[in-house]
Amino acid sequence: MSIQHFLSIADLTPETLWHILELGRDLKEEWKAGGNRPLLKGKTLGMLFQKPSLRTRVSFEMGMIHLGGGAIYLSPQEVQLGQRESVPDVARVLSRYVDAIMARVFAHAHVEQLAAHSRVPVINGLSDYSHPCQALADLLTIWEIKGRLEGIRLAYVGDGNNVARSLAFAAALTGIHMVAASPEGYALDEGTVARSRALAEAGGGSLRLTTDPVEAVRDADVIYTDVWASMGQEAEAERRRQVFRPYQVNAALVAQAPPDVIVMHCLPAHRGEEITDEVIDGPRSVVFHQAENRLHAQKGLLVWLLGAMG
């Protein structure tokens, strides 16, 4: 039997994606009502980190605790993935100790190598290519607040990065119509656009690119932004600040959208750059609701991957 991994939202069918979201919703309701059943009792998640983390580490660790399991944190210094020891060897050893592996890495090739050599499911906790766990939380948040996903209009304003890519795949699979506004040279790549449009044939969503943030938000149900320079792009940060300045999500931009628009950000935020304090702390922001949903969406993912369907 082949092992099921979770490396990209694009690897899922619409039916499987909805199943994970429904599990996350049900587990959230169960937790709020008094606690989760120990569906993962006796299970352990190994967590490999190359990058610093707040939400990814705590949400996965607490998710395992809520479900009766455990988690082991492996810091960048402890493992030095691909340096002290080859990625395939790390996968071969760690997967003999734990029931699943979550990895937060720089190069997407590293999670692919882990998956290729692991005996247990591998979860992409973030890579330079995609951030699929964030997309699960985003979908759960929109679904909760707007009551649906199909037909939702999502405006992404900013860099065509890993978060935007995962959102594009997620939108395609769930019937969301996404418009991504980025400066020339910083848009989502052609491969991502093609993959998203292929996924949309099954899921009913769509993706359109523009350079005009006002056009993107005009009919939006959701405005989403992310940092202008991701981890590993520090050398470009000053140049990016100049290029992206017209793409700031501020009160003036939000005013161009319908009055019931919600504003999202995957965090951490560079306040005063891609988003202003007025917006992130304002009445349209669901940013911290979204952060909380990392916990519950990932519980759905863990229960699905580890086959604990009881």
Kind of pairing, strands 100-104 and 153-157? unpaired
pLDDT at 310: 40
- Is-catalytic flag, 83? no
Say which CATH topology domain 132-290 has.
Answer: Rossmann fold (3.40.50)
Position 284: which residue type? R
- Decide if 9-131+294-305 and 132-290 have a common fold: yes
From the list 256, 302, 309, 254, the residue with the least C-alpha distance to 98 is: 302
Classify 185 as helix, strand or coil.
coil
Alpha helix (H) residue ranges in the chain: 14-32, 55-66, 76-79, 87-94, 108-117, 132-146, 162-174, 190-203, 213-217, 237-244, 251-254, 277-280, 287-305
State the catalytic residue, choosing from 113, 134, 248, 290.
Answer: 134
Q: Which of 117, 131, 153, 296 is catalytic?
A: 131
Residues of the chain with pLDDT > 90, as a percent, come to: 90
Cis amide leading into 52 (omega within 30) = no
Own/partner contacts of 27-32, CB < 8 Å, gap of 24 or more, are 27/66, 27/67, 27/296, 27/299, 27/300, 27/303, 28/140, 28/293, 28/296, 28/299, 31/66, 31/296, 31/299
Active-site choice (110, 165, 177, 294): 294
Q: Which of 50, 159, 226, 298 is catalytic?
A: 226
Identify the residue whose tokens are 């005013």.
Answer: 255
**How far apart are the C-alpha atoms of 60 and 94, rounded to whole Å?**
17
Known catalytic membership, residue 84: no
Tens place of pLDDT per residue across the chain (310 aa): 579 999 999 999 999 999 999 999 999 999 999 999 999 999 999 999 998 899 999 999 999 999 999 999 999 888 777 678 899 999 999 999 999 999 999 999 999 999 999 999 999 999 999 999 999 999 999 999 999 999 999 999 999 999 999 999 999 999 999 999 999 999 999 999 999 999 999 999 999 999 999 999 999 999 999 999 876 677 888 899 999 999 999 999 999 999 999 999 999 999 999 999 999 999 999 999 999 999 999 999 999 999 865 4
Among the listed residues 104, 153, 165, 284, the single catalytic one is 104
Question: Rounded CA gap, 128 and 11, in Å?
Answer: 17
- Among this protein's residues, is 219 annotated catalytic? no
CA Rg value for the chain: 19
Give the CB-side neighbour count of residue 214, counting CA atoms within 13 A: 4
Task: Tell me the residue length of the chain.
Answer: 310
Predicted model pTM = 0.96
Tell me the C-alpha distance between 93 and 117, whole Å: 10
239 is catalytic: no
Decide if 160 contacts 189 (C-beta within 8 A).
yes
Segments making up each domain of the chain, as ranges: 9-131+294-305, 132-290
State the residue for tokens 């607490």.
62
The architecture (CATH level 2) of 9-131+294-305 comes to 3-Layer(aba) Sandwich (3.40)
| Tokens 């369907």, residue located | 309
Contact 152, 117 (CB under 8 A): no
Catalytic-residue membership of 294: yes
Distance separating alpha carbons of residues 89 and 218, to the nearest angstrom:
50
Choose the catalytic residue: 66, 99, 221, 266: 266
Active site residue 131: yes
pLDDT of residue 237: 87
